[in-house]
Amino acid sequence: MNEKEINFHDLFFQIMLHWRSMILFILIGGIVSSASTYMHLRLSSADTQDGRSEKAIRSELKKSMTQTELSAVEQALLNGYSCQKWQAYIESSALMALDPSQVYQADLVYAVKAAKDSADPTAIYLDLLATNDMHKFVAKKTDPITLADAHELIHVLDPNPFTQKQENSSFRITIIAGTKKICTTMSTAVQEYIKTLHKLTKNTYGPHDTILLQDNMAKIVSTSLLQEQIDMRSKITRLNTETADLMKDFSEIQTQYYQLCTPNIDNVSSNTSKKETAPAAPSTYLRSSVWGVLFAMILYISILFFVYITNKRLQYTDDPADLYQIPALGHIPADHRHRNFLDHIDHWLRVQRDKGRCLISAKQAIPLSAAAIHVTAHKKGFRHIDGISCRPISKNTAKIEDEIRYILNKYDIGFQTTDNILYNADSLEQLCTMQAAVLIEKAGSVYYKELQQVLRALQQQDVCVIGMIIIE
């Protein structure tokens, strides 16, 4: 086999036949380049204005204030931070979202009865019920309730604080919710969890019983919850009022410093020297787009060039006579349909690529290839020709072989096909009975090295290779 040389004519049209994906790649490159330039300018502007300049201004303002003035500003900032946190708590808290006039409350009272002369495990239950495990268990069993909600809505109480000397001890669990369904689900989950605790505690602290003395649920008006909600909102109002009172006496320097230190301030005083950045000129983005387009084009062409020179598979434009010193009996092109203008562009590029070669359709190329086989076989005196493929044949290749077989049968020339000659033992054994063969290979599916191996095997078996047909 001769080394395949780089054909710049084929390489050029190989690249041009990818013009659709190349245009898309170029457009993406231009867009990405413009977008990156825009983001770079925005970030640079933000870094200049919001970073170094603000830090320097804030430092200068801080130095120009007295300790009393600075303390007043810091107190106002602390009040603002506290208001934000308390307001976020009110918005996310299930307890704060309840309507105090319509609260469902479940009361579970348990008695713990232990054997005589044994330790009272009531304190153990109180400790275990106060952990996160119970709240996690309830939150898992109740769909809209989270762990934080369970901590707020479930309270474990000891109704008998002076029960150390009594034989029976008890504890109480209070559950509140906004709906009866949620309250019932949480109550059921708590009871299920206590049963689990009883089994665990019984094995550790000895026999005892937990008796549910009361399981009551009622719709109530919770004045305590109402007062708690009022106190929470009053706290926020008080902090805002205190901040407003502090800011009344702020000097211009204190006001500027407060605005610079306060997040999410949209309108900052003009004395902070914070100027709007002028938008970049259109020529900047145009120049960036051009560079992006050029880079994308060079990158795409480089990829195609690398793929071309490293390709080890048979190409449709290859000449078997140059590579393997066997005649080319036919090139059968693919059936390209011209459905729109873009398809006509592809057709024109293929015409330019195949200049110097007779341009015919697949329907015309198949009879010509069969005729070339017939003429060669007749001249060499062969009445039977075997078609060989290195790899398993596709449906399209099989259809072409059937048409060639049909044409050769008219000339009383037998034609039989054998595929996968290198990787199938049964196919390889058929070389023993072959006299003449024609290689029928699909471009892009077989390696040059595999073709060389097949030709070597045919030569060892004294099989005459009359030529090759390449299918696009």
Q: Does residue 268 carry a pLDDT above 80?
A: no
Say yes or no: 73 and 135 in one domain. Answer: no
Q: Of the candidates 220, 241, 270, which is a domain's last residue?
A: 220
Quick one: 298 and 444 in the same domain?
no
Q: CATH number of the domain that 211 lies in?
A: 3.30.70
> Residue 112 contacts by C-beta under 8 Å, 6 or more apart in sequence?
120, 121, 122, 125, 168, 169, 170, 171, 208, 209, 210, 211
Asked if 141 and 113 sit in the same domain, the reply is yes
Which residue, of 290, 311, 332, is where some domain finishes?
311
Task: Please check whether residues 325 and 439 belong to one and the same domain.
Answer: yes
In this structure, what CATH number is given to the domain that contains residue 353? 3.40.50
- Judged by average pLDDT, the poorest of 109-123, 349-363, 369-383, 442-456 is 349-363
Same-domain pairing of 327 and 466: yes
What is the tens place of the pLDDT at every residue in 329-374?
888 887 766 666 676 677 677 767 666 565 677 788 889 999 999 9
Predicted local distance difference test score (pLDDT) of residue 166: 45
CB 438 within 8 A of CB 385: yes
The two tokens of residue 352 are: 């330019």
Report pLDDT for 202. 84
3-state secondary structure 289-307: HHHHHHHHHHHHHHHHHHH
- For the chain, the average pLDDT equals 82
Q: How confident is the model at residue 180 (pLDDT cuts 50, 70, 90)?
A: very high
Query: Where does the pLDDT of residue 207 fall: very low under 50, low under 70, confident under 90, or very high at 90 and above?
Result: confident
Asked if residue 405 and residue 348 are part of one domain, the reply reads yes
Shared domain for 307 and 452, answered yes or no, is no
pLDDT winner (highest mean) among 47-61, 71-85, 427-441 = 71-85
Q: For residues 354 and 49, which has the higher predicted lDDT (pLDDT)?
A: 354
The residue out of 264, 288, 311 marking a domain boundary is 311
Cα 418 to Cα 429: distance, rounded to the nearest angstrom: 10
Query: How many distinct structural domains can be found in the chain?
Result: 3
Q: What are phi and psi of 388, to 5 degrees?
A: -120, 135
Residue 106: Cβ-neighbour burial (10 angstroms; 0-12, 13-18, 19+):
buried
More confidently predicted of 11 and 412: 412
C-alpha span between 42 and 285 (Å, rounded): 13
Residue range 436-448, pLDDT digits in tens: 999 999 888 888 8
pLDDT at 277: 45
Which of 58-67, 99-108, 250-259, 262-271 shows the lowest mean pLDDT across its residues? 262-271
Domain identity same for 285 and 160: no
206 and 239 share one domain = no
Q: Taking residues 102-111, what's their average pLDDT?
A: 93
Q: Do 294 and 358 sit in the same domain of this protein? A: no
pLDDT of amino acid 275: 42
240 and 295 belong to one structural domain = yes
More confident residue, 53 or 410: 410
pTM for the complete prediction? Answer: 0.44
Predicted confidence (pLDDT) at residue 399 exceeds the cutoff of 60: yes
Whether the predicted pLDDT of 137 surpasses 90: yes
Report the range of poorest mean pLDDT among 40-54, 304-318, 447-461.
40-54
Say whether pLDDT at 103 is over 90.
yes
Task: For residues 232 and 213, state if they share a domain.
Answer: no
- Domain housing 240: 1-93+227-311
